[in-house]
């Protein structure tokens, strides 16, 4: 299964605010999660239900400064929110992820491409 999220997904630091020990999702995060749900809920995930899964996530973005140096952007800060949003929309518990790969893809277009497959 291949899912394309045609916009930038923010880091976990921008998705929640804290009140004491309570973590609360921002209004922006709720909107992005709803947008992701609209894309993902149309997909048929029955063949993946209850199986061990391999997930590959490619984050397309401009990862370099004007001087050509790599920007200080940690791709793994996007993992939790992106996984939670996609897997909730698919109706699959993310505990079934047994392999996961994140890759930064240098691009002027900002998007995420998520590939999910059952491990044979």
pLDDT in tens, 42-79: 899 999 999 999 999 999 999 999 999 998 887 888 88
Q: Rounded distance, CA 48 to CA 112, Å?
A: 20
Q: Which of 109, 115, 2, 102 is nearest to 53 (CA)?
A: 115
Q: Rounded distance, CA 59 to CA 115, Å?
A: 12
- Residue 88 binned pLDDT confidence (cut-offs 50, 70, 90): very high
Residues of the domain holding 60: 2-118
> Per-residue pLDDT for 12 more than 90?
no
Phi, psi of 55, rounded to the nearest 5 degrees: -125, 130
Report how many domains make up the chain.
1
Bridge partner list, 61: 106
pLDDT digits (tens, 9 = 90+) for 94-108: 999 999 999 999 999
Q: What is the CATH number of the domain that holds 8?
A: 3.30.1330.70
Spatial CB neighbours of 2, under 8 Å, sequence gap ≥ 6 = 113, 114, 115
């Amino acid at each position: 299964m291949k899912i394309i999220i045609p916009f930038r997904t923010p880091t976990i630091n921008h998705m929640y605010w804290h009140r004491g020990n309570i973590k609360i999702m921002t209004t922006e995060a709720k909107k992005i999660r709803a947008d992701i749900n609209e894309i993902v809920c149309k997909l048929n995930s029955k063949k993946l239900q209850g199986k061990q899964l391999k997930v590959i996530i490619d984050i397309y973005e401009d990862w370099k400064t004007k001087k050509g140096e790599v920007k200080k952007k940690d791709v793994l800060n996007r993992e939790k929110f992106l996984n939670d949003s996609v897997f909730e929309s698919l109706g699959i518990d993310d505990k079934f992820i047994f392999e996961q790969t994140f890759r930064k893809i240098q691009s002027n277009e900002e998007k995420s491409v998520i590939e999910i497959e059952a491990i044979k």
